[in-house]
Structure 1
């Protein structure tokens, strides 16, 4: 591939992910293929490939690239998996997931964000992603169960109704802890004997809120 397609900031972006321990080749390819600059605010495009979170509409954020890659890697995705995402935001995490799995259903409580993400995902050809305006604490029963679930906003505790949507052998990743403070990224695996829980790394996310936003 011509060097001209790799601006210095994007080359450093990939190097940083590798240096910080991301080794799943499918995840690294997805991070390379998806143009992050399309998922940030226009004023922030020059900083799209910095390893930092950035503000988006409705008081939300797009997570730093390492956190996106790390959470995706910890899901241990396979190509046939069906994934539920709680908290669409700009659509970036869903776009990354779409390159590594079969199908993504992503729920967003803000209509503005849902509409914007839907347009961006269509633009980059993520045809296996469905964006739904909805409540992440009340996933529609019609959605069925999932191989993987990823939550991209902080929950004080993971609702039982969410873990019960995991298929046997399924994996859930979520930041757990108090809002406006440091949370811990938690991985839950559904086994024949119940649920195995492991704490991974400290993170900071905006809080997950119930219901559909009345405005925005």
Structure 2
């Protein structure tokens, strides 16, 4: 089966199943796909991705690998702490409108450096400058939602931020119609750095 044919997913449920079963193959050490140039060549003429996966820039979270997906199967968008900005929202809209993805999955991960930096900044009462400050400002509402007095504030804020990002994407005007029609779903997940498992927050 070529990568292009394998990527033909119709419904959001099928797309989600692909990611869940791919994560199981990854964790159990039975990946189906790798970085094989023949798979790259098979999709060179076009793409039919089933999902867009939005994650963090953390080098320990290679999204194609943890979901064991082949070339042409998923679009990947990344930023520090999967913080949304205009470019990322536009990329999501493009993937839905032009590439017809049926699933947007927001993936946070344990021990996220951006979230921990936000907790530290809020506890210290200091403002981060420049571009890092933008990330801190965007992540701060999730941290405050959990509460700085919680000893597990950073880890709980990771989940809270995933839910907040999912909620924000569900309210994007251009996504409303396909979500209402049932041809698109926006879901969240958290990746465990130690075990490799992805917890789907459905």
TM-score after normalising by structure 1: 0.28
- Structure (1/2) with the larger strand percentage: 1
- Structure (1/2) with the larger helix percentage: 2
TM-score after normalising by structure 2: 0.29
Which has the higher Rg, Structure 1 or Structure 2?
2
- Which protein has greater RCO, CA pairs closer than 8 Å, 6+ apart? 2
